[in-house]
Structure 1
Amino acid sequence: MKMSKSFLYITLSVITASSVQAQTLTRDNGAPVGDNQNSLTAGENGSVLLQDVHLIQKLQRFARERIPERVVHARGTGAHGNFVASADFSHLTASPPFNEAGKETPVFVRFSTVIHPKGSPETLRDPRGFATKFYTEQGNWDLVGNNLPVFFIRDSMKFPDMVHSLKPSPITNVQDPNRFFDFFSKEPGSTHMLSWVYSNLGTPASYRTMDGFGVHAYKWVNQSGEINYVKFHWKSQQGIKSLRSNEVIEIQGKDFNHLTNDLYSQIKQGNHPKWDLFVKVLSPTELNSLDYNGLDATKIWLNVPETKVGTMTLNKIPDNFFLETEQSAFSPANLIPGIEPSEDRLLQGRLFAYSDTQLYRLGSNLFQLPINQPKVAVNNHNQNGFGNIELKDSDINYEPSQYLNLSENPKYKATQTPLSGVVQQKAITQQRNFYQAGEFYRSLNEQDKMDLINNLAGDLAQVKDENIKTTMLSYFYRADKDYGTRLTKAVKGNIKQVAQLASI
């Protein structure tokens, strides 16, 4: 068979490409790939793990090759800035932001409310999202957390149910305490988070005057492969200031965009807000020695010291809200070398869910948008889809290939984690659903205790089902007798029934 000249030319061009300098295969966030041949599994013959974010991204992107308001965190405000490391922490992690004292990394932060829709008043009670995108030389790392250190649930299986209960009724389109307390009465682990969100911290006076938390445990891995578990905490240098219920009413009548207006005006005036980033560090042995499950997202690591690792400054507001704040896409799956997910069940589900919802919202080429684009080259074979503007001129869009030297780098393979037990669907042990809620209550001053009781009573008193109300009261009673007694009195409950149910 006679070959055409054009075919010969293309073949020779491809073969010539095999002599190019080797490049490391990356994920869409620019992070290098350690193994592009094998999935992460629970042992040699075990199930494939959901935390294999490279596998999930490949499958997600492939399914979308042939693009809506966020379901949660719809109301948001963003700002640009930088993060400066306070020392060299390479003995703990190989991640670039922490490997040199004074190291500067650009960041973009999106603050948000969780439940309420876009355009809703920023005065409403809600956890506040605190999501930070680090643009590093090994890809984008997203630290996606809240202004409170814990969460309502510990297993991602319950996340859609929790959000459905907190969202407006599908019949009336009105948020209803009867619905969400019905759900929480079956989720005793929520008692801790409910105590935090119904405190005045649930209505911050300013984004500048609230802390941020990664909530989940993550793994820090150094160049030697040594693993430690860490929790992240942003501490506001401006201090913490929240609103009491009477202040919420006063401000809402004047400016229901007070959080955005405050952040923008302060940055424009040159009053650039700062947060110090602290970490709590536990070895695997120390984590396993806790008298509660240290991977439970409803728990704080009590009495574990914090170490300052750097400072973040926000110094520029976005040029365009839609292009930057609205189109910014955050996911815990956007990890970089030196940072890995822990086995936290809620985090494991978020690795998939957050990436998937951003693909749904923005399309498979969301990383080509300037606000999400890594500052490093992205080398992979993802292609096509809505919004693709990347010109690729190679005939090779697969790996491995003898014609194109683009492959994984074993240096970045995931760490090996010892496993035991069986594949199962079973709740965690050491749940201890109430004691940290009691610790939190007892840490409050008298005024804050009164505000917490009044804030909670405002919604709990609306619950019509006495069984649900009494069950919820028994949870707070089990957390702290004074807490439960005062709350029961505030909603005109039956303290005898509450105490009896709490003793069961």
Structure 2
Amino acid sequence: MALFSDRGTPKSVRHVNAYSGHTYKITKEDGTFHYIKVHIKTNQGVETLTNDEATKLAGEAPGIHGADLYESIAKGDFPSWTVFFQVMTPSQAENYRWNIFDMTKVWPHSGFPLIPVAKLTLNQNPKNYFAEIEQAAFSPSNMVPGIAPSADPMLQARMFAYNDAARYRLGVNYQQLPCNRAVSRVYCPFQRDGSMTFTDNYGGDPNYVGSDLKPINYKGRFGAHGYKIGGHEEWIGSVVGFSSEVVDDDFVQARGFWDMLGGQEGQQEHFVHNVACHLKGAIPQVREKAFDMFSNVYPVIADKLKVAIENLNKAPLN
């Protein structure tokens, strides 16, 4: 529903928020942690397009988002975002209404307020688009100490899949490229060699570094540490295998979203129009399933969709 509201067609990259979707952990060396969700909110204000405006721009100026961002940075109008955390304790997670590893659920701000933690500013354009942008490889498995993955099943899958895709696209040593290289190198001699390596490649250190060895190039510590196994881990094991069965409680947040759109002039109408534009060409049984799904949110949404599709199909072609 967020995608098919006007939020799904931002006016520019500078005017859009970002959200982690996944649940992560912030950790301490003693093994304690809290769960977090990350919100990255634009300081330029959220601005959107209607579906018709977006369709027009897709034909007339398909590269408008990149051009807008480049021109803004080039003239010194640096776009910025404030980074917020929502924080939840493990005990709160165990007793929360919804499964915190379910990506289709959000944490209401009333119970878990946004805590500002950082500011992100884009202040430099790439000098060579291919070298710095086309070769960039992002993955949720790239984390700094203090951030850790949760048991979110989709996050666990993406931690493998994104890196695997990057290796296929850019080569096994893609993390050595300047645009992907860590500022502070993590000591990991298990990942070395391979085609086109061009760093010191851990020098003469052994491939396997046991705890009784003192590597030549090692600074810091390595290996798993600090994570305690206990009752909470057992709880995690009992909830990560949640089924895909859809129940009425799954539509509570969707109803809240529809109600929120009702407080913004024209937004419910835009949502109906956006969905209808895509659904009008679907085969009848697909339409009926969509109507049934939206009826679980509110029957009035399905009724409005039926009318909108009927009117669109009657409209003459331009």
Normalised-by-shorter TM-score class: 0.7 to 0.9
- 2:155 counterpart SS class: helix
- Aligned residue type for 1:468: V
Q: 1:457 deviation in Å?
A: 0.4
1-side partners of 2:223 and 2:150: how far apart? 20
Residue of structure 1 equivalent to 2:225: 413
Residue of structure 2 equivalent to 1:324: 132
1-side partners of 2:132 and 2:68: how far apart? 19
The reply to whether residue 436 of structure 1 matches residue 253 of structure 2 is yes
Residue of structure 1 equivalent to 2:286: 468
1-side partners of 2:287 and 2:91: how far apart? 41
- Aligned residue type for 2:75: Q
- Of the three residues 29, 35, 38, the one matched with 1:229 is 35
216-225 vs 403-412, greater mean Cα deviation = 403-412
Normalised TM-score (structure 1): 0.55
- Aligned residue type for 1:262: D
- Of the three residues 182, 193, 217, the one matched with 1:384 is 193
Q: 1:487 deviation in Å?
A: 1.4
- Of the three residues 76, 81, 84, the one matched with 1:275 is 81
- Unpaired segments ≥5 residues, structure 2: 312-318
1:328-339 matches, within 5 Å, as: 328-339=136-147
- Aligned residue type for 2:234: L
> Which is richer in helix?
2
- Aligned residue type for 1:365: N
The reply to whether residue 452 of structure 1 matches residue 271 of structure 2 is yes
1:69-80 matches, within 5 Å, as: none
Q: 1:424 deviation in Å?
A: 9.3
Q: 1:415 deviation in Å?
A: 2.0
Q: Is the 8 A contact 2:139 2:159 kept in 1?
A: yes
1-side partners of 2:306 and 2:42: how far apart? 35
Q: 1:250 deviation in Å?
A: 3.6
- With over 3 angstroms needed to count, the CA separation of the structure-2 counterparts of 1:422 and 1:438, relative to structure 1, is closer
Q: 1:290 deviation in Å?
A: 2.2
- Map Cα deviations across residues 297-324 of structure 1 (whole Å, 9 max, x no partner): 0111113211111111110011111111
- Map Cα deviations across residues 27-56 of structure 1 (whole Å, 9 max, x no partner): xxxxxxxxxxxxxxxxxxxxxxxxxxxxxx
Q: Is the 8 A contact 2:38 2:85 kept in 1?
A: yes
2-side partners of 1:208 and 1:233: how far apart? 15
1:51-450 matches, within 5 Å, as: 195-302=1-108, 303=110, 304-381=112-189, 382-392=191-201, 393-394=203-204, 396-400=206-210, 402=213, 404=215, 406=218, 409=221, 413=225, 415-417=227-229, 418-420=233-235, 427=243, 432-444=249-261, 445-450=264-269
Normalised TM-score (structure 2): 0.85
- Unpaired segments ≥5 residues, structure 1: 1-194, 494-504
Q: Is the 8 A contact 1:232 1:278 kept in 2?
A: yes
Residue of structure 1 equivalent to 2:314: none
Q: Is the 8 A contact 1:292 1:430 kept in 2?
A: no
Aligned pair count?
Answer: 298
Structure with the greater relative contact order (CA < 8 A, sep ≥ 6): 1 or 2? Answer: 1
Q: Is the 8 A contact 2:205 2:215 kept in 1?
A: no
Q: 1:380 deviation in Å?
A: 3.3
Residue of structure 2 equivalent to 1:44: none
Q: Is the 8 A contact 2:30 2:226 kept in 1?
A: no
- With over 3 angstroms needed to count, the CA separation of the structure-2 counterparts of 1:273 and 1:335, relative to structure 1, is same
Q: Is the 8 A contact 1:441 1:483 kept in 2?
A: no
- 2:122 counterpart SS class: strand
